[in-house]
Amino acid sequence: MAPTPTELQRLATVISRRTGMAFPSTRLPFLTARARAVMAWAGADNWDSWLSELEASAGNDDRVGEALDEALQVHETCFFRYPGHHALLSDVVLPDSLAAGATRLRILSVGCSTGQEAYSLAMTARENLGGDAHRQVEILGVDVGRAALAAARRGVYGPLSVASVPPLYLEHYFEPEGPAFTVRPELRAMVRFLRHDIRRELYLGKFDAIFCCNVCLYFMRPTKDQILTRLTAALRRGGYLFLGHAEGVTPPVDNFRAIHRPSGVMFQRIPA
């Protein structure tokens, strides 16, 4: 049974409060479908009573809240989604950071989903640094989705998933297994995955570059600002922040300077 217009508004309000996500009218069908699935999983069959339970629950780390949070994630991703970011990583971030004396670069992929961005960054690093890349670069992919992270750790992708991988990269960094392609061990050695919610406090150390693409666009302004504050705290002075084209947030000029290149734009945290 579909929720009434009043129940739908209650649903959008309570979930926005719990997750910080924005639900304009265009996203309400998505919200309804995902919430209905969680209702069925929780054994609820009445929108009004279930919404009342959600509204009465102050925390969002409970069992149902966690299921809702995971159900509402959008795991749309692909390899080399933003080619300009990889050009900037190759042309600016890697050479400048290593020239400055860095011995091991830490790169964070926020909202890594099923792992394509993290593995793409690893391929770019290996193409630039060769066989020593696994000693010089560490890539951490974080996401809240357990199923997505399990897929990322498996590193097995179908032919459609690898369609955007350059043919030479596909040959060098993947092992064909029937119709699928498995990430080779030398690439896996550079990447690890961790369940982490960037909206919550959890210290992961400092990073030389952070990629946060198509993450903030789903959230309301206070949550966007909160995420940006945490990304800033996790980025070392002089480090680089990459944002998706539709994030709807820009780093503050007192902390960052924009670096424009023909391949795109990134933001460098102002050195001390």
- For residues 109 and 132, give the distance between their C-alpha atoms in angstroms, rounded to a whole number: 21
Nearest to 3 by CA among 52, 36, 37: 36
Under 8 Å between Cβ of 233 and 210: no
pLDDT digits (tens, 9 = 90+) for 227-239: 899 999 999 999 9
CA distance between the termini of the chain: 57
Under 8 Å between Cβ of 220 and 16: yes
Placement of tokens 């049974």 in the chain: 1
Q: Between 47-56 and 63-71, two packed helices, what is the crossing angle to 10 degrees?
A: 110
Task: Compute CA distances 135 → 130, 141, 185, 205, 252, whole Å.
Answer: 10, 17, 14, 18, 33
pLDDT value, residue 234:
94
- For residues 151 and 160, give the distance between their C-alpha atoms in angstroms, rounded to a whole number: 15
Under 8 Å between Cβ of 111 and 140: no
What is this structure's pTM?
0.85
pLDDT value, residue 12:
84
DSSP 92: I
Q: Mean pLDDT, to the nearest integer, of 213-236?
A: 88
pLDDT value, residue 159:
93
Under 8 Å between Cβ of 137 and 104: yes
As a whole-number percent, the residues of the chain with pLDDT over 90 amount to 48
pLDDT digits (tens, 9 = 90+) for 140-161: 999 988 889 999 999 999 999 9
Task: Give burial (CB, 10 Å; 0-12/13-18/19+) of 66.
Answer: middle
